[in-house]
Amino acid sequence: MPSNNDLFSSFSSILIDYNNAFSLIDMSLTLENHQPSLENLPENYLIALTECNAIQLTGEEQQKYLQGQVTCDVNTLTPETLLHGAHCNAKGKVFSCFRLFERDGSYLLFQPKSSIEQSLAELKKFGVFAKVDINTTEQLAFFCLVGTNAPAILKEKFNTLPDSMTPVIQTGSTNLVYIAGNIERYLIIDTKENVEQLVSAFSLPVFPSPIWKLLEIVEGFPYLDNDNHSEYVPQMLNMQAINGISFTKGCYLGQETVARMQYLGKNKKALFALTGKLTNPSAEIIIEKQLGENWRKAGDVIACYISENNQCYLQAVLANDSNQEIKLQLKEQTDADLSLVNLPYSLTQD
């Protein structure tokens, strides 16, 4: 589980993100040196995704191999589609959650760098028996464009844009990936040199990676790191709710556990987003729920973003029947006014 220091690393790691961003983006871009709340973000902006990367699979057996390793149906992937998925161990516990798409015939599993190490090692371990090369995409740079005017901004440079029906397009060497949700986003992927030239022409403020974590939290996409891999089955991270699990594809690593959780109703946990105003930013973040006259720990915090005005955004695994009627608080910060954030999808099974 994440330690107290891990959860509060957003303040100290922001300086690291600035340094990483400076090494990856053109110096003519505006790099924001503050950490706003969600409500205080500008109307349109870029994020330098220096803390994200992708595992790349290339080779004549890349489809066959990956199909037997992850929860999504890789056989349905085309150059224009985007899949959500999870990579699990043999017990069905998740190493990483990713967005899968093609680029120049290779498969890219886009995710935080913090979840790549263990997943990459496991894929490589079994990949020696297949005709596939598995590495990270060190030659690529990743940016995200966010804002109400994002489509119009992209239209200035691209004739065709991705959308919900065609979420992935490639124009020349540049990939655009549409990410649906309450806050629509566009990934921009290319070589470092090309992407620097492209995003600098937008003349927009650029934020470092913690803003991406903030958006993943409020959009309900799992943000795992080395401290919480192999802890949860995919359904505890809402992967079934975002079409990240195929229950008809056949066998893959951990499939038996995932299927049992789905059909026997054994899963009692889910992923939630919460927000509240911290009154003691130095205190450990522990979510509690009221049980009668007492308060007990409600679940595990797996990702945290704290803004400069102490607005806190949490991604946590709680009981799957948690709702706005349940009273929640932060231990030792009982007046933090903690509440659930509405996610862009439903946890109710049809």
Q: What is the pLDDT of residues 54-104, one digit of tens each?
A: 999 999 999 999 999 999 999 999 999 999 999 999 999 999 999 999 999
Cβ burial, residue 129 (10 Å; 0-12/13-18/19+):
exposed
pLDDT in tens, 128-155: 989 999 999 989 999 999 999 999 999 9
- Report CA-CA distances (Å) from 279 to 14, 79, 124, 302: 21, 48, 45, 21
User: Domains in the chain, please, with CATH?
Assistant: 4-219 (3.30.1360.120), 234-341 (2.40.30.160)
- Predicted TM-score (pTM) of the model is 0.92
DSSP strand pairing (185-191 vs 140-147): antiparallel
What tokens appear for 186 in the block? 């566009």
Q: Give the Cα separation of 251 and 254 in Å (integer).
A: 8
What tokens appear for 78 in the block? 């085309």
Q: Determine the average pLDDT of the residues in 331-343.
A: 90
Confidence band of 227 (pLDDT split at 50, 70, 90)? confident
Question: 3-class SS at 117?
Answer: helix
Question: 3-class SS at 131?
Answer: coil
Alpha helices in 180-237 (DSSP H): 192-200, 210-219
